[in-house]
Amino acid sequence: MKKLSTLRKVLAVAIGTVAAAAIAVPASAAQPGPTGEMGPAVVGGTRAAQGEFPWMVRLSMGCGGAMYADNLVLTAAHCVSGTGNNTSITATYGAVDLQSSSRVTRTSKYVYRNPGYSTSAGGDWALIQLSSPITNAAKLPIATSTAYDSGTFTIIGWGAASEGGAQQRYLLKATVPFVSDTSCKTPYPSLKAAVEICAGYTQGGTDTCQGDSGGPMVRRDNANNWVQVGIVSYGRGCARPNYPGVYAQVSALSTAIAAKARELRV
């Protein structure tokens, strides 16, 4: 996961206690990020309405994700340990309340971790193949060009609502503005501008946080539909002034994501 140090965030606004099985964040999920920081939640957020973000997924290792296909969840590479058969992850879909009786769960079958994640090329993304499809699941389209890589974005997650805080039972949301690569390189000199995008407020106060890692950063497209422009990756702390969140830039990674997804859909 991303943030306290680098891998990221959780949208934390402590709204009650979630059953340990639903929100536990094992040490294996809090892997150090490309610049040594640790993972995310949504700080400064408000509760999302049921059905507002129907493609959102909570992963049992303490990360977020989004439905890419009926049997695939797109998340962050740093949320998973590697590529291969994996039946240890539980994906929760279809409810903003992780304890809701209407939630849908699936175990994982296989995980693909971008092999370029730890290289200079970067690319903090992974695909989780589910044991069985979620029929007619809502899917989140990914950006395939830079057309939507600016403006104001929406961040979503069950992560912490404050730095070092507890994971959330209810899904939180917040908005953050685009931060240019030039500005983002001041706090993050090792930013991989070709595959990373930054968002946040100079004054801080709103951000993803521990437990938000792997979740989507989205905005509306020209048809007013949600499109994914980022994957929660890392940041220094949560919502600190002058430290925006860093996200995998989906438009730069979309070709590779789509190619691997075609292989895993069957």
Of the candidates 175, 171, 176, the one whose C-alpha atom is nearest the C-alpha of residue 158 is 171
- Catalytic-residue membership of 150: no
| Catalytic entry in 5, 60, 78, 233 | 78
| Catalytic entry in 60, 108, 213, 251 | 213
- Contact yes or no for 40/245 (Cβ under 8 A): yes
**Torsion over CA of 73, 76, 78 and 81, rounded to 10 degrees?**
20
- Contact yes or no for 108/216 (Cβ under 8 A): no
| Catalytic entry in 124, 149, 207, 212 | 124
> What amino acid is encoded at 52 in this protein?
E
- Contact yes or no for 230/152 (Cβ under 8 A): no
Beta strands in the chain (DSSP E): 9-10, 40-41, 46-47, 56-59, 63-69, 72-75, 84-85, 90-93, 104-113, 126-130, 152-157, 172-179, 196-199, 216-220, 226-234, 245-249
User: What's the Rg (C-alpha) of the chain?
Assistant: 16
- Catalytic-residue membership of 124: yes
Residue positions annotated with a catalytic role? 78, 124, 213
